[in-house]
Amino acid sequence: MTPQSEAELADLIAAARDPLSIRGGGTRALMLPQGPALSTRGLSGVTLYEPGALTLVVAAGTPLQEVRALLAAERQRLPFDPPDLAALSGRGGLSTIGGVAASNASGPARIQAGACRDCLIGLRFVDGRGRVVKNGGRVMKNVTGYDLVKLLAGSEGRLGVLSELSFRLQPLPQTEVTLTLEGIPAADQAAVMARALSSPWDVSGAASDPAAGRVWLRLEGFEEQTRYRSAKLRARLAPAEITLTEGAASAALWAGIRDLTPLAGAEVVIRHSARPSHMPGLLQLIARTAPAQVLSDLGGGWLSIGCSAAEAPALLCALQTEGARAGGHARLLKAPPAVATRLPGAPPTDPVVARLNAAIAAEFDPRGLFAPARLSAEA
């Protein structure tokens, strides 16, 4: 089923009798649909774009690549730099802007610009009764229903099918520079990145490759200003060995970090969120548990871990146990269906939170149409 309008989408949901599998581009779902597939790809196109007001209203099925191209032509961007996981998933497809919002997908710029939900100023969706619900507005000062906008961002399609989204935008920086620090031990990388992020030099990305001893720090802005800030940051981090990468080369480096390109060859990818101070202990835990490749994005708040399917159960269990003990959580980003069906895609939910989630779901989806047996939803 691929409705071509919001009204058609509402009619299909109102008439549905069995659970539905909501699909966008299919780049973020771990498993194949378990119920009748309802695709949002027919809901595509830009409803309103006002570059002067830094505002975009777009249909949920619009490919993320098209949104990026449209904004780049006006030297603008989505501030939260959403990842495109098509290459990581290995299944092809085009990531949709609705899937970005449904999963609250955010990139390394999150440390500076906030997450997707912080840049989402309005939305429209169809709930489990087939009702069209509008929340928020089309300008930044309109905060009507702001809490509901945030509730839907990251709900993974559990409360309804997104049909239209409104975002605040950001001008593209005139230039960007990446400082690459070499020879930094894995145990010291979090402290180095934290020192840079806590500086007054406005770092917009901080990531590392623990095994290679490499740390990347990004600065963006006007050319002269960025040159001055990068010099100050180099002085702050001395005597580390530092090289500079500028312009398009820097942008390509961060696109790879954002889209987890270095982990594309891994059979299973696990993402773990935790406090930066926990990073050294987590790296030790991973090293003790299984051979793995780790990519750290401290700006986005993640450790992304690639491993074999055979090692995945022990590694995921160890990380989820540590998350329950010390805070944070681990979940699957990529896994073959045979592995995904045997593993918990996300850690157990706290009983109080589970009751709250159930009460909210009962309001928006009383028939359980958006809760089939699957690990991930709109993508």
- Confirm whether 297 is domain-assigned: yes
- Lookup result for tokens 């909210």: 360
> Are both 216 and 253 inside the same structural domain?
yes
> Are both 230 and 332 inside the same structural domain?
no
Q: Final residue of a domain: which of 138, 171, 204?
A: 171
Q: How much is the average pLDDT of 298-327?
A: 88
SS3 135: strand
> Are both 16 and 150 inside the same structural domain?
yes
Q: For residues 31 and 157, is the Cβ–Cβ distance under 8 A?
A: no
Which residues make beta-bridge pairs with 133?
125
CATH code, domain with 113: 3.30.465.10
> Are both 57 and 154 inside the same structural domain?
yes
- Confirm whether 358 is domain-assigned: no
Crossing angle for the helix pair 279-289 and 312-326, nearest 10 degrees? 150
Q: How many angstroms separate the CA atoms of 166 and 58, rounded?
A: 7
- Confirm whether 376 is domain-assigned: no
Range of the domain at 195: 175-258
- Judge whether residue 72 has pLDDT over 90: yes
List, in order, residues 6 or more apart from 113 with CB less than 8 Å away.
Answer: 79, 80, 81, 119, 170, 204
- Confirm whether 319 is domain-assigned: yes
- Confirm whether 1 is domain-assigned: no
Neighbouring C-alpha atoms within 13 Å toward the C-beta of 108: 28
Q: How many residues does the chain have?
A: 379
Q: Which two tokens stand for residue 166?
A: 């409104």
> Are both 101 and 214 inside the same structural domain?
no
> Are both 210 and 228 inside the same structural domain?
yes
CATH code, domain with 200: 3.30.70.920
**pLDDT tens figures, 223-242:** 999 999 999 999 999 888 89
Per-residue pLDDT, 25: 63
- Lookup result for tokens 């997450």: 115
Q: For residues 237 and 196, is the Cβ–Cβ distance under 8 A?
A: yes
**pLDDT tens figures, 340-365:** 777 776 667 778 888 888 888 888 88
**pLDDT tens figures, 5-46:** 888 888 888 888 888 877 776 666 655 556 677 788 888 899
Q: Final residue of a domain: which of 128, 152, 171?
A: 171
Q: How many angstroms separate the CA atoms of 376 and 379, rounded?
A: 8
Per-residue pLDDT, 28: 62
Nearest alpha carbon to residue 240 among 205, 207, 215? 215
- Confirm whether 245 is domain-assigned: yes
CATH code, domain with 280: 3.30.70
Q: For residues 10 and 26, is the Cβ–Cβ distance under 8 A?
A: no
Q: How many angstroms separate the CA atoms of 349 and 342, rounded?
A: 18
